[in-house]
Structure 1
Amino acid sequence: MSSSNLTGFVLAVLSSAFIGSSFIIKKKGLQLASANGPRASVGGYGYLLQPLWWVGMITMIVGEIANFVAYIYAPAVLVTPLGALSIIVSAVLAHFLLKEKLQKMGMLGCLLCIVGSTVIVLHAPEEKSLSSVQEIWELAIQPAFLSYTASAIAVTLFLVLYCAPRHGQTNILVYTGICSIVGSLTVMSVKAVGIAIKLTLEGANQAFHFQAWVFAMVSVTCIIVQLNYLNMPFMIYHMI
């Protein structure tokens, strides 16, 4: 593993620890907020006044920053799978702090996360060197990626507008599906922003390219959508 990949690896692991912990802290905050107003699962936003929820949010932001920097140093194929380690952290903390018992299938799932992440990390390729955000843009406007993006947006809208109002309260796959699909676009756009920042720090200012701002806006939009729909299943289902 190269030094840059190793740096990305360490940052990604730290990111998973912070993000995994933030889920537990935020759920505790949501539980406290639901005692004094509408629950997040039915569209309530009282948790915004709950300090503990903000502690969890700050913890998540720290984790996301570490994750963001990891994308600058290492390829997405290495960083993204390590995000699964946040599941392990959440499962362990939920077991002890939220008293949510981890079943045998849950243990198997955690084991598979560890094995899968390890295999991918050990075989992660070196990242292709890029000299401009315009090169990323050329890759992003390829027909195959545009088709995937259009499909992801269409499925997300279907889940948000049709499935969430009808089945969101009874099927966790609705909200997790929204977060996961949007998350795939978040990874791509964040990686692009990370490369743009890295190139800028190296002396090739990317702020003058409109593509960098497009990637930044996509990143912010996707992150906001994920944060909104991530809160909802916390108040409907157990963490594990």
Structure 2
Amino acid sequence: MHSWEAFGAGLAVVASIVSNLGVNIQKYSHLSEALRPTAARRPYIRCPVWWSGLALVVLGSLGDFAAFGFATQSLVAALGGGATLVANVVTAQRLNGERLDQTDVGGVLFVIAGVVIIACIAEPNVEYPLPELELRFVRTPFVVYITCVGVCAVSMLATIKGSVANRLKNQVDWSNKRQKKLLKQFDLRVQRLEQRLLDMEVKLLQVSTSASVLPVGLVDPPAMSTDLRELIDSTSAEDADVNGEAVVGKSTSRVPYYYAVCSGIVGAMTVLLAKCSAITIALTLKGDNQFKYGLTYIFLGGMFVCILVQTHFLNMATSSGDIMTVFPIFQACWITFSVVGGAVFYQNDNEPISTTDKVFYPVALLAIALGVGLLVQRSSSSVEAEAGRSCIGNGRMKLSTSDDDRDLLLSADASVYSPLLLAGAHEDDGPHQSV
């Protein structure tokens, strides 16, 4: 390994640690937001803490981008991925309080072993001019690789779309929106009912005491209106919390893992485009201007688009799953697709694959696959049990409060009780004699 390649490898390690710290801060933002009432929760892009984590992620990405100018794509991806896995074990425990299981340790060790093997057999760094890069993008092996990657990403997204957890979440969101709409309509009916009662009292007072001044209390709506609206808001929030916890308790699918895989696939494309962009910038600095080609801007624009998509998928994964498991899966897919993509992209047609690559690349990828297999076995039974107990407890509390409040709600509903009847009298109880 040359001195500049060693510098690039060290820069990749530091950048990956900084980026992992940013991802864990974003996970902390997701956890903090989940503790807020459902009605007060915000999208992650509106949370200041999340943006501070994104700043570190961007800083780490810039470091990775600079590292691509000094070292090969496989070396940067392998060493950076291994360093961030070790950093994630420490940061996830300290910052987010996630436990470390034996399967997590074994999975991380297998992934790191595969990463070390890839780093040892990484090919030397070569800078190709832009016309040569353009020809490599249309080579048959790379076209086949891109097609397979696209099919894999689409299948993952289709699995997420059709998963039970996703359908349950959509049903709960629809139910909460419908409930809020009905409660707003109910609130309007209550206000109209109060106004009718107020008008009737005013008319009675005008008939009986036409010369007297009306009491001030009759000008404003009764205090019951404010109390009832507070009851409606609290009931809506409690129902939404219970429904959300029910989804967490029932959802045992692997949707966070699917999001992590999608993020890793898109991240591998980010690596390839970043490497090509770094090559064009390096050649331009050496005097060979590459910005006269339109493909250079496609590289840069595609890289930024892939970064945005990768960040979104990773946040979807970390917000719905444990970062101790989700992040290593993302890193494993990111490293695997980056290494395979780099090998396919930079392999020359007239050069046969060496025996070392034929042996050690499959061994490294197998070690990474075994590590991912151990990571997805992470037991979440205690988390589900806790969510179930919380859901049951909230359900019982909601049931008791709803029994106590039913009379208050029904007595204010004009469709159930008539304001002209005596207090506590139902319309179906038969005729009553007016007072």
* 103 and 187 in structure 1: CA distance in 2 versus 1, 3 angstrom threshold: same
Corresponding residue for residue 229 of structure 2: none
Corresponding residue for residue 287 of structure 2: 203
Aligned equivalents of 2:15, 2:107: Cα separation in 1: 20
Q: Does structure 1 residue 28 correspond to structure 2 residue 112?
A: no
Corresponding residue for residue 144 of structure 1: 141
Say which of 78, 83, 92 aligns to 1:81.
Answer: 78
Q: Which stretch has the larger CA shift, 115-124 or 203-212? A: 115-124
Residues 173-227 of structure 1: CA deviation (Å, up to 9, x unaligned): 3101211222222111111001011111111111111111222222122111111
Corresponding residue for residue 7 of structure 1: 7
Aligned equivalents of 1:153, 1:221: Cα separation in 2: 16
Corresponding residue for residue 242 of structure 2: none
* 158 and 79 in structure 1: CA distance in 2 versus 1, 3 angstrom threshold: same
TM-score (normalizing by structure 1)? 0.89
| Distance apart, 1:67 and its partner CA | 0.5
Q: Does structure 1 residue 214 correspond to structure 2 residue 284?
A: no
Corresponding residue for residue 116 of structure 1: 114
Q: Percent identity?
A: 25
Say which of 159, 166, 187 aligns to 2:162.
Answer: 166
| Distance apart, 1:138 and its partner CA | 1.0
In structure 1, stretches of 5+ residues that fail to align are none
Q: Does structure 1 residue 94 correspond to structure 2 residue 92?
A: yes
| Distance apart, 1:119 and its partner CA | 2.9
Residues 113-159 of structure 1: CA deviation (Å, up to 9, x unaligned): 333333332332322242x2121111111011112112222332332
| Distance apart, 1:35 and its partner CA | 4.3
* 113 and 158 in structure 1: CA distance in 2 versus 1, 3 angstrom threshold: closer
The letter of the residue matching 2:160 is: A
* 37 and 60 in structure 1: CA distance in 2 versus 1, 3 angstrom threshold: farther
Corresponding residue for residue 259 of structure 2: 175
Matches within 5 A, 1:130-141: 130=128, 132-141=129-138
Rg larger in 1 or in 2? 2
Q: Any idea what SS the aligned residue of 1:73 has?
A: coil
Aligned equivalents of 2:127, 2:279: Cα separation in 1: 10
The letter of the residue matching 1:163 is: T
| Distance apart, 1:232 and its partner CA | 0.9
* 106 and 137 in structure 1: CA distance in 2 versus 1, 3 angstrom threshold: same
Q: Any idea what SS the aligned residue of 2:323 has?
A: coil
Q: Does structure 1 residue 230 correspond to structure 2 residue 338?
A: no
Residues 19-75 of structure 1: CA deviation (Å, up to 9, x unaligned): 111121011112233445779xxxx96221211111110001111100011111101
The letter of the residue matching 1:101 is: R
CA contact (8 A) 1:178 1:229 kept: yes
CA contact (8 A) 1:70 1:79 kept: yes
Q: How many residues align?
A: 234
Q: Alignment RMSD, CA only?
A: 2.0
Corresponding residue for residue 63 of structure 1: 60
